[in-house]
Amino acid sequence: MFLYNKKLQYPVKIARPNPRLASIIISQYGGPDGELGASLRYLSQRYSMPFDEQKGLLTDIGVEELGHLEMIGAIIHQLTRNLKDKDIENSPLAPYFVDHTVGVYPTAASGFPYSAASMQVKGDPIADLCEDLGAEQKARVTYDNILRLSDDPDVNDVIKFLREREVVHFQRFGESLQQLREKLNQKNVYCMNPSMDL
Amino acid sequence: MDYRKSEQMSCKMGKLPSKAPLANPYVPFQMENPARYDARKGLIRGTLYPGLDLPFRGMVNTKEKPPTPKNELQAIGFALNELALYLDTHPCDSEALELYRSYQKKYHDMMMKYSEDCKPLTHANPVNHKSYTWLSDPWPWEYAANKEG
């Protein structure tokens, strides 16, 4: 089960509200490579993993991603606090605002609402761990792109932290994939699906 | 020069044996007992491991968070989480396991102290107060809850 911890993984302290940045960063809440998709992907993939090492890693990283989802929610919430109508009127947040006011809704920056079609649970551990490697890289690039577009030091402080976590997760998924392969047929790791046939 | 030949020559990892298993994605394993930052530096860098600290365009956090009780708890909790992921793929690194256990103890002691101060982290934390304190301080996502740090 899950037990809520009443703290963030990393402090989010944004002095200046900024609707333009909120309209970009919302993508890491509900976009194709965002934290909602990440946590849902890993916490769902773990059931069909054949060995404890991968079950453990997917659980631990999946839970950490839920913490990142909360941090992105905190960024959006703080970037949109105390806004006046005129602050929103001429900002790129206006189309989001008309649908969600300043509530935090899982959507991509491009306006597409969160879709589980942006992730997969294939039920084969090699295929799923390869997806996870790709997912971490795509999330890293999204954070790179946010850093390109943001000059707010309070926002960037948190984004740099989240971006670095993607690099660490990529490393761990790669190691876990290697450990999985070592337990399979060394001549042909594709000779069966370890989720089904072990 | 033949393209494939020049690629082989520039490959710093050396050549594979001729019958090595191909068509496999590969990430080099992190060596055991790698160099580590302390918990406070690890928190602002987003990793405990200098070898994995790979910033974009040289953009790095350099200023450590002030040592408030909450920030200290975050730093120790972060180190614990980072070591857990490391141990998930390096369960036999006894030095990392020892450090993980020492951070567990630190985290537990700090959490108990923090919650006695009427700030429960979970519903399972005992609190020294007559009234229900779960609702009483700012929520973690609010600016007010983070402004000291």
Q: Read off the pLDDT of residues B18-57 as tens digits, 9 standing for 90 and up.
A: 777 788 888 999 999 999 999 999 999 999 999 999 999 9
* Residue A86 in contact with partner chain B when CB distance is under 8 A: no
pLDDT of residue B15: 76
pLDDT at B147 > cutoff 60:
yes
Give the CATH class of A19-197.
mainly alpha
Q: What is the largest CA-CA distance in chain A?
A: 66
Q: Do A163 and B122 touch (CB under 8 A)?
A: no
CA angle B49, A151, A136 (to 5 degrees): 40
* Neighbouring C-beta atoms of residue B25, cutoff 10 Å: 14
Residue to mutate among B48, B56, B76, B133, with most A CBs inside 10 A, is B56
A1 contacts in B (CB within 8 Å)? none
A160 interfaces chain B, CB cutoff of 8 Å: yes
Q: pLDDT tens digits, chain A, 198 residues: what are they?
A: 999 999 999 999 999 999 999 999 999 999 999 999 999 999 999 999 999 999 999 999 999 999 999 999 999 999 999 999 999 999 999 999 999 999 999 999 999 999 999 999 999 999 999 999 999 999 999 999 999 999 999 999 999 999 999 999 999 999 999 999 999 988 899 999 999 998
A13 vs B119, B134, B146: nearest CB: B146
Q: pLDDT band for B1, please (50, 70, 90 cuts).
A: very low
Instruction: Report CA dihedral (B38, B44, B48, B53) to the nearest 10 degrees.
Output: -130
CB contacts, 8 Å: A147 with chain B = 56-57, 59
Contact B141/A3, CB-based, under 8 Å?
Answer: no
| Rounded Cα gap, residues A43 and A35, in angstroms | 12
User: For residue B75, which of A14, A72, A9, A3 has the smallest C-alpha distance?
Assistant: A9
Give me the DSSP letters along A115-155. Answer: -GGG----S-HHHHHHHHHHHHHHHHHHHHHHHHH---HHH
Q: What confidence category does residue B95 fall into, taking pLDDT thresholds of 50, 70 and 90? A: very high
Q: Which amino acid is at B47?
A: T
Q: What is the pTM of this model?
A: 0.94
d(CA A163, CA A137) in angstroms, rounded, equals 10
- Residue B12, pLDDT above cutoff 80: no
In A, which residues are within 8 Å of B74 by CB distance? Answer: 7-11
Mean pLDDT of B108-122: 90
Enclosing H/E stretch for A44: helix A35-45
**Cβ separation A147–B56 shorter than 8 A:** yes
Confidence check: pLDDT of B11 > 70: no
Rounded Cα distance between A6 and B141, Å, is 9
